[in-house]
Amino acid sequence: MQLTDTRGVKVTITTVPGAIVHTHRGQIPHDSLMGLAEGSITTSTRGIDYLVQRPQLDDYVLGMPRQAAVIYPKDAARIVALGDIGSGSRLLEAGVGSGALTCYLLKAAGATGAVTSVERRSDFAEVARENVTRWFGGIPRSWTLMERDLVEVTDGDIPTGSQDTVILDMLAPWDCLDVADRVLRPGGSLVSYVATTTQLSRLVETMRLSQRWTEPRAEESIVRTWHLDGLAVRPDHRMSGHTGFLVAARHMAPGEKPSPRRRRPAPGAYGEDYQGPGADQVEEGEPG
Ligand SMILES: C[S@@+](CC[C@H](N)C(=O)[O-])C[C@H]1O[C@@H](n2cnc3c(N)ncnc32)[C@H](O)[C@@H]1O
């Protein structure tokens, strides 16, 4: 349960008969919370009101134990949209890290979906397994967690063309493009989260060179919360300045290549040694 005081400070607990919540602003017996409808108000021993609710997934992922950096809610929402993920989707994600994105993917794909999560570090996989189990109250039947490097995943593990969407969140997603190409169905979506512009550039250029993807699209989401108080309505002073970039593209049919881009590359956008598509059109000069 999530208890929110009148200042907006949140405490999340798992209720246990006979236990007591100790806050800076008094105590609340767990027994007094059990059976309360969500949206009820309870009062601590020091007379402070607390709103009682179940936490939502956004609250949970930001507060759960983590080993690696987690995907933030604003990016998870865009990944679900860019990946065209919904009830019954078949998804492959790697790496799993602490399992934040995994929870969103399992929720979006639902009981009829199938989420395969691949993580090469067993200590991270263990944290993710615990976080997913705590959120869903057990391991969802729709979830398979594989402890290995995605580049080592074989046709026996994940059959060719079996996935609707592949999501890559790792340091070197370009190393895993061949696997994504193999497991995705024609028209399936690839979505990758990268933290830096150098990763963004390398990923996009590797995708273009392979000619297995539609023209990649890149975006970042900037979310600014607002202070709302009478006539004092303005953006909050603090915000999350940068999380990462999302790259998305669709998978080509077997044997098909994307049509050459009609726009000429900007002068200087590619080095002199560039040999990829459109190389014959590259002009020397300053980057455009
Ligand atoms: C930033 S974390 C992922 C965070 C996760 N998406 C979340 O929301 O909690 C990156 C993870 O990718 C894993 N990883 C990196 N390369 C991998 C690969 N080739 N195969 C499988 N896992 C990989 C790392 O061990 C790490 O746990």
Q: Find the CATH number of the domain harbouring 139.
A: 3.40.50.150
Q: Is residue 273 part of a domain?
A: no
Q: Check whether residue 20 and residue 123 sit in a common domain.
A: no
Find the 104 Cα to ligand 1 centroid distance in Å. Answer: 16
Find the 119 Cα to ligand 1 centroid distance in Å. Answer: 6
Q: Check whether residue 138 and residue 176 sit in a common domain.
A: yes
Q: Is 29 helix (H, G, I), strand (E, B) or coil?
A: strand
- Average pLDDT in the 80-105 region? 98
Q: Is residue 186 part of a domain?
A: yes
The residue whose CA has the least distance to atom 2 of ligand 1 is 97
Q: Is 100 in the pocket of ligand 1 (CB under 6 A)?
A: yes
Using the 3D structure, point to which of 13, 29, 55 is the last residue of a domain: 55
Q: Check whether residue 90 and residue 112 sit in a common domain.
A: yes
pLDDT band at 67 (very low <50, low <70, confident <90, very high): confident
Over residues 102-119, the pLDDT tens digits come to 999 999 999 999 999 999
The residue whose CA has the least distance to atom 11 of ligand 1 is 95
- Average pLDDT in the 82-108 region? 98
Contacts for 53 with CB less than 8 Å, ≥ 6 apart: 1, 2, 4, 38, 39
Looking at residue 282, its pLDDT comes to: 57
Looking at residue 286, its pLDDT comes to: 53
Find the 122 Cα to ligand 1 centroid distance in Å. Answer: 11
User: Which residue type sits at 42?
Assistant: T
Q: Is 188 in the pocket of ligand 1 (CB under 6 A)?
A: no
Find the 212 Cα to ligand 1 centroid distance in Å. Answer: 23
- pLDDT tops 80 at residue 279: no
The residue whose CA has the least distance to atom 3 of ligand 1 is 97
Q: Is 126 in the pocket of ligand 1 (CB under 6 A)?
A: no
Q: Is residue 197 part of a domain?
A: yes
Find the 18 Cα to ligand 1 centroid distance in Å. Answer: 40
For the question of whether the overall pTM of this predicted structure is more than 0.85, the answer is yes
pLDDT band at 276 (very low <50, low <70, confident <90, very high): low
Q: Is 151 in the pocket of ligand 1 (CB under 6 A)?
A: yes
Q: Is residue 265 part of a domain?
A: no
Q: Is 148 in the pocket of ligand 1 (CB under 6 A)?
A: no
- Rounded Cα distance between 199 and 245, Å, is 9
- Rounded Cα distance between 68 and 123, Å, is 11
Find the 252 Cα to ligand 1 centroid distance in Å. Answer: 26
**150-164 burial code (b ≥16 CB/10 A, e <16):** beebeeebbeeebbb
Tokens in use for 243?
Answer: 């999380």
- pLDDT tops 60 at residue 25: yes
CA 230 remoteness from chain centre = 35
Find the 70 Cα to ligand 1 centroid distance in Å. Answer: 10
The secondary structure element, H or E, covering residue 205 is: helix 197-210
Taking every pair of C-alpha atoms in the chain, what is the biggest distance, in angstroms? Answer: 76
Give the domain extent around 152.
Answer: 59-225+235-259
**Sole residue written with tokens 């607390």:** 50
Strand ranges inside the chain, DSSP E: 2-5, 10-12, 20-23, 26-29, 40-43, 49-53, 90-94, 114-119, 143-147, 163-169, 184-194, 217-219, 226-229, 232-235, 245-250
Tokens in use for 4?
Answer: 């929110």
Looking at residue 242, its pLDDT comes to: 95
Q: To 5 degrees, how large is the angle CA 29–CA 35–CA 40?
A: 80
Q: Is 176 in the pocket of ligand 1 (CB under 6 A)?
A: yes
Q: Is 199 in the pocket of ligand 1 (CB under 6 A)?
A: no
Over residues 184-213, the pLDDT tens digits come to 999 999 999 999 999 999 999 999 999 999
Tally of domains within the chain: 2
Looking at residue 283, its pLDDT comes to: 54
Q: Check whether residue 72 and residue 194 sit in a common domain.
A: yes
The residue whose CA has the least distance to atom 26 of ligand 1 is 97
Q: Check whether residue 45 and residue 70 sit in a common domain.
A: no
